[in-house]
Structure 1
Amino acid sequence: MSDSVTANFGLVQIGQIAVPVSDIERAVAFYRDTLGMRFLFQAPPGLGFFDCAGVRLMLDAPAKAQAENYSSVIYYKVPDLHAAFETLSARGVLFEAKPHLIAKLPDHELWMAFFRDPDRNLLALMSEVRP
């Protein structure tokens, strides 16, 4: 890379996020049926893929059982946090708390609600509420 390309380089887009799961069938059902995510395909030995508006989510059932799974928190952006909260709650998702205000920014408020998948990976809904 040239110096100007190197100086301007920055990561700008997520292509795929991997989430470790213990049971691929249970996890696929949760993400597809409960969360309503767009299922793409499954692949051996224990992978499931979903499309999140161009970002691919890969569920990965590891070959070797792990005592504890460590995962990044995935924040799903939704236009109406309270409606999403009610819909997912009705589908059996147990939230850690009701949607709440995280920050008041100059042009919007940031609201979030956190929940876990069947493998206890932390997930969140987020919404930028404009006046």
Structure 2
Amino acid sequence: MEAVIHKVGQIGVPVNDLKRAITFYQEKLRLNLLFQTGNMAFFECNGLRLLLDLPENEASAHPSSVIYFQVEDIQKAHQEMAGRGVSFISAPHLIARMGQRETWMAFFTDTEGNTHAFMSELDV
């Protein structure tokens, strides 16, 4: 059986002050700001995307990073992993449409209560 996970495509870092965090990552760490949308900012880090975001709810507001595992077919990955007993917080859903590409994610928890996600980027 072929592995479902191809690579880590993104790491999310919850922040309290997005403007301050953007300044730090851009000016201090010299990372390239790809784009900012809503309460999120995305940086390029040698093929790995770094997401800074203001947590949407209290459950997400903790000093931990979210690992986004890139998969080719998010529906298939969701079905397969749910069958293995992975506890999903959300089914696959559209996160952002950027030009001719869509980003889809499905969030789940590990055994320690950490939130992670499967992500898939599709041409539309």
Q: CA deviation at 1:84?
A: 0.4
Asked if the contact 1:70–1:121 (Cα under 8 Å) also holds between the matched residues in 2, the reply is no
Report the TM-score when normalising by structure 1: 0.48
User: Residue by residue, what CA displacement relative to the aligned partner does 1:4-29 show, whole Å, maximum 9, x if unpaired?
Assistant: xxxxx8453489xxxxxxxxxxxxxx
Verify: 1:121 aligned to 2:114, yes or no.
yes
Structure 1 match to 2:71: 78
- In 2, Cα distance between the equivalents of 1:110 and 1:124? 12
Are the structure 2 counterparts of residues 124 and 105 from structure 1 closer, same or farther at C-alpha, using a change threshold of 3 Å? same
Are the structure 2 counterparts of residues 10 and 112 from structure 1 closer, same or farther at C-alpha, using a change threshold of 3 Å? same
The structure that is strand-richer by fraction is: 2
Are the structure 2 counterparts of residues 109 and 87 from structure 1 closer, same or farther at C-alpha, using a change threshold of 3 Å? same
- In 2, Cα distance between the equivalents of 1:70 and 1:118? 17
Are the structure 2 counterparts of residues 14 and 109 from structure 1 closer, same or farther at C-alpha, using a change threshold of 3 Å? closer
Identity, % of aligned pairs? 43
The gaps in structure 1 that reach 5 residues or longer are 1-8, 16-68
Q: Number of residues paired by the alignment?
A: 71
* Aligned Cα root-mean-square deviation (Å): 2.4
User: Residue by residue, what CA displacement relative to the aligned partner does 1:99-128 show, whole Å, maximum 9, x if unpaired?
Assistant: 000111102111000001010111000000
User: Residue by residue, what CA displacement relative to the aligned partner does 1:4-57 show, whole Å, maximum 9, x if unpaired?
Assistant: xxxxx8453489xxxxxxxxxxxxxxxxxxxxxxxxxxxxxxxxxxxxxxxxxx
Q: CA deviation at 1:70?
A: 4.0
Give the 5 Å matches for 1:21-36: none
The gaps in structure 2 that reach 5 residues or longer are 1-28, 32-44, 49-61
- In 1, Cα distance between the equivalents of 2:46 and 2:84? 31
User: Residue by residue, what CA displacement relative to the aligned partner does 1:70-97 show, whole Å, maximum 9, x if unpaired?
Assistant: 4200001111000000010000011011
Report the TM-score when normalising by structure 2: 0.51
Output the amino acid matched with 2:79.
Answer: E
